[in-house]
Structure 1
C-alpha cells in the first residue's frame, strides 16, 4: 500500500480515538472516494492517483463554497471550508505564486505555445507537475493571460 493511503488510514484511526467527528467524517469521505475509483476501475490506487482524487474533491468543494456564498448560505460554505482544510492536510505543500509562474513560463517555452489554441498542450505538461499543489483553474487563468497578452 502506498504511503498516502496509509497515512489517511492512520489519520482516520487517530480521529476515531480522539473523538474528532468532523475530521473523521471528511476522512471517511476521502476513503470512500478512493475506494469508489478502485472498485470502478478494478485497480489499487497509488499515491499519484490518490492525489488526483483529492484534487477533484478540493475542486468540488471550492465550487460549492462559491455557490453557497453567492446564495447567501455562509453556514454551508463554512462547512465546506472546514472540509477543504482537512483534505489539504493530505496534499503536498502548495506551490507559491512565483513557482507557479516559473512552471507556466517553462511549459509555454517547452511546448512552443504562442496562442490560446496551444493552451491544452501547456496544461498537459503542467498538470502532472502541479497535481494537488495548485488550483488548476487559477493556473489555467494565468496561462490564458500569458497567451493572450
Structure 2
C-alpha cells in the first residue's frame, strides 16, 4: 500500500463508504464481500458510545453488528482479521480462558496460543497438561480490543 492509499484510508475512517473502500484497496470482485463487512463493522463502531468500545470486543459482537449470515461466515471472519492487520490495524486480538478454580477470566499470552497451533501441540493453559486440539479450542476464547490507532479513530470521531 502506497502513501496515497494510506492517506485515503485514514480519511475513509471518518466517512466510511463501501465504493471508496473498494477503490482504495484496488479490490477484486472476490474481495468486495469482505470489504462489505469491514465497512459495516467500522460504520457501526463509529456509531457506538465510547464506553462500549473500551475493553472486550468479541466475534459475536462483530457478527451482530456486521449483519453477516451463516453462509457469509468465512468472509466475515476474514473481515475481522483484516481489521487486525495492516493497513487497518484498528483492533488487537487477544486470548483468554475461564479459570474455574478462581471463577474469573484469565488473559493468556498470545505467543503461547500461536505456538500451540504452529507446533500442533496443545496444553492446558493453566495446568500444562497435554490436551486435544478440540479441548484447547473449547478452553481458549479469542477477543479483541481497540488498538491505539483504533482508539484514536473512534474516540476522535465521537460526539461528546
Shorter-chain TM-score category? 0.3 to 0.5
Q: More strand per residue: 1 or 2?
A: 2
Q: Could you say which structure has the higher helix fraction?
A: 1
Which structure ranks higher in relative contact order (CA pairs < 8 Å, sequence separation ≥ 6)?
2
